[in-house]
Structure 1
Amino acid sequence: MTAIAAKAAPEAARSSWLRQNAVALYPLVVIAVLIAFFAVQNPYFATFDNAMNIGRQSSVLLLVALAGTMVIMIGSIDLSVGSIVTLAGIVAAMVIDPAGPLVAVLVGMGVGLSVGAFNGLILIGLKVPSFLVTLGMLSVLSGIANMITGGTSIMFMDFSLTSSVNAAMLFGVPNIILIAALAAAVLTFVAFKTTLGRYLYAIGGGELVAANAGVPVLRYKVLAFMLSGTLCGLAGVMLTAQVGAGTPTAGANMLLDSIAAIVMGGTALSGGIGGPHRTILGVLVIAILSNGMDVIGVNSFTQEVVKGVVIILAVASTIDRKKYQFIK
């Protein structure tokens, strides 16, 4: 019996490890399947050049998804991320010629920081659910962006920031990919190695318990929204630099894709589970899927259908149902 028990122990341990890490493993399996499928359909998909294309296409989305992750970790949600990207990019486009690229970056991030702080203060001050606060802010920012631009793109003549973002200074990897990767690394460090990260997880895991344990819940809620807004501001500047103009529809598709990437990666919408490291995987699933369908020539309408189906299936596979008492 002892020998049997000894033999069964490692198997039980492996089974337990698989159950605990299944949420993280599912996106990796999806990524592997997608890469294999598209590489067979078109050999160009598996080339270095196309890998860099995927990186360029997903870098801004990664920044936005990382921003949303920090808010979702506390059990809230920020629906204004796409509008912050748009407004920050427009403001940066307006500032870059008279003030220079560095000021444009700082001003764009400042716009995001200000909106994030406002969202957080309204949330805790008026005790309005984050869903409603940020839904209203989405509309406000979109309206401001269209008022500023008149519905047209804002062009600029100083392309130094565009050149810097699109250039490849390290091993042929475009700088915008390096910026997004650095942001992901920093946020992962923050989430697991700092007081801010520990408190965000604690709030998401149980706000009342965290408050009773001495966590200044209201302050860290505002900080989460400020961090989210700042990252969206950076994303807006990077997107403007990447395309060479500030447009009033720049962040239109960012909201749904970012939320899908966050949940697909394994961060629970109820908070307390997941983090930036998992969001990276979710973004890769969406980026590889979109790029692969482009490479094999799938028309845009069919792409929307396939993308929606894959997102539903992936989220259904990765969501942690133990976190939810009721499915609404």
Structure 2
Amino acid sequence: MSSNAPTSPARTFSLSDWLRHNAISLYPFIVIVVLVAAFGIQNPYFATFDNAMNIGRQSSVLLLVSLAGTMVIMIGSIDLSVGSIVTLAGIVAALALDPFGPLTAIAAGVGIGVLVGLINGAILVQLKVPSFLVTLGMLSVLSGIANMIAGGTSIMFMDFSLTDFVNATVLLGVPNIIVIALLAAAILTFVAFKTVLGRYLFAIGGGELVAANAGVPVQRYKLFAFMLSGGLCGLAGVVLTAQVGAGTPTAGANMLLDSIAAIVMGGTALSGGIGGPHRTILGVLVIAILSNGMDVVGVNSFTQEVVKGAVIILAVASTIDRKKYQFIK
């Protein structure tokens, strides 16, 4: 018996459709290629292996902080306290190194970060205070605590075992600090796409009410996101302290702006539910290459601030999901 049911036409490949659907993913690659070509032409040193390792060293801590921010932005929230967590964790680690050794210093720094993330998340889910306001206040609180502990000066230490390890080169000429950051990125990418935690974070960012109606324990996983973010920032603080050989009360001062720029440049939408840690890696590369390239070709620091601010505006404009907003305020 033959069927007269109409058959759907075969779908043909359209390059324009493919480019339109993958524009956000391709954008960072295109920017990286353009920046490398432009800076390489202006200064041949930019395209050398040594400078590539410099870029890696300079951006490793930023990658850890940006990964932390990504986990919170994935649920549609934001953590403005990331830089202050880095600062406080670094100072705590510096104080713990001499009397207790490197392992305890690492645990203390990461533990401080997790604790702050727990407090941020608890205020958000229990007191219903928007994450922007919670973490903005926490930014100031932690900065004040860090300066009180440090007395406004750098905390020096004599045990350089952690510093030697972080700055050493073991694998194919790649500094350990880069390996640590890339390993963290690989683990976070696995968590985001291969675990229940990651799937729930995306679901909450994609539509909190829908996720709750589907049985997702939304409040619990919001708390987990902030704790994970705090722990990663704590690790970043420990690594930064080890890298520079001291805990300083201004260590994370510039981390917030650069991390948000990297996250949105990579393609993780501030509205949540889109992107992930894998894209943040590309965003950090864009920011790192841009900063390093401007240094190499001699752009002054004030102009660099202007360029980074413009990058954030353009990145947000290109990645924000306008369908989630009935009104743009």
Question: Which TM-score band applies after superposition, normalised by the shorter structure?
Answer: over 0.9
Determine if contact 1:165/1:176 at 8 Å carries over to the other structure.
yes
2:4 paired residue number: none
**What are the Cα deviations for residues 250-296 of structure 1, in whole angstroms up to 9, with x where unaligned?**
00001111111111111111111111111111111110000001111
Q: Quote the Cα distance in structure 1 between the aligned partners of 2:21 and 2:326.
A: 19
User: Matched residue of 2:158: which SS?
Assistant: coil
Percent identity over paired residues: 83
Q: Quote the Cα distance in structure 2 between the aligned partners of 1:33 and 1:48.
A: 18
2:85 paired residue number: 84
**What are the Cα deviations for residues 110-136 of structure 1, in whole angstroms up to 9, with x where unaligned?**
000011011111111111111111111
2:34 paired residue number: 33
Shift of 1:300: 1.5
1:24 aligns with 2:25: yes
User: Matched residue of 1:169: which SS?
Assistant: strand
Q: 1:295 is aligned with what amino acid?
A: V
Q: 2:12 is aligned with what amino acid?
A: A
Q: How does 1:69-148 map to 2 (within 5 A)?
A: 69-148=70-149
Shift of 1:309: 2.6
Q: Quote the Cα distance in structure 2 between the aligned partners of 1:319 and 1:284.
A: 20
2:289 paired residue number: 288
1:9 paired residue number: 12
Shift of 1:323: 4.2
Q: 1:70 is aligned with what amino acid?
A: M
Q: Quote the Cα distance in structure 2 between the aligned partners of 1:72 and 1:171.
A: 34
Q: How does 1:198-213 map to 2 (within 5 A)?
A: 198-213=199-214
Superposed CA RMSD in Å reads 1.3
Q: How does 1:189-200 map to 2 (within 5 A)?
A: 189-200=190-201
Shift of 1:16: 2.6
2:168 paired residue number: 167
2:248 paired residue number: 247
Determine if contact 1:61/1:258 at 8 Å carries over to the other structure.
yes
2:6 paired residue number: none
How many residue pairs end up in the alignment? Answer: 321
User: Matched residue of 2:177: which SS?
Assistant: helix
Q: Quote the Cα distance in structure 1 between the aligned partners of 2:190 and 2:324.
A: 24
Determine if contact 1:22/1:318 at 8 Å carries over to the other structure.
no
1:225 aligns with 2:233: no
Shift of 1:305: 2.1
**What are the Cα deviations for residues 296-328 of structure 1, in whole angstroms up to 9, with x where unaligned?**
111222222233233333443344444444332
Mean CA deviation greater in 300-309 or 240-249: 300-309
Q: 2:25 is aligned with what amino acid?
A: A
Q: 1:23 is aligned with what amino acid?
A: I
Q: Quote the Cα distance in structure 1 between the aligned partners of 2:290 and 2:177.
A: 20
Determine if contact 2:270/2:316 at 8 Å carries over to the other structure.
no
Determine if contact 2:261/2:308 at 8 Å carries over to the other structure.
no
Gap runs ≥5 in structure 2: 1-8
Determine if contact 1:26/1:318 at 8 Å carries over to the other structure.
no
Determine if contact 2:69/2:82 at 8 Å carries over to the other structure.
yes
**What are the Cα deviations for residues 84-132 of structure 1, in whole angstroms up to 9, with x where unaligned?**
0000000000000010011101110000001101111111111111111
1:180 aligns with 2:181: yes
Q: Quote the Cα distance in structure 2 between the aligned partners of 1:246 and 1:113.
A: 19
User: Matched residue of 2:215: which SS?
Assistant: coil
Shift of 1:150: 1.0
Gap runs ≥5 in structure 1: none
Q: 1:277 is aligned with what amino acid?
A: H
Determine if contact 2:271/2:321 at 8 Å carries over to the other structure.
no
Q: Quote the Cα distance in structure 2 between the aligned partners of 1:137 and 1:309.
A: 26
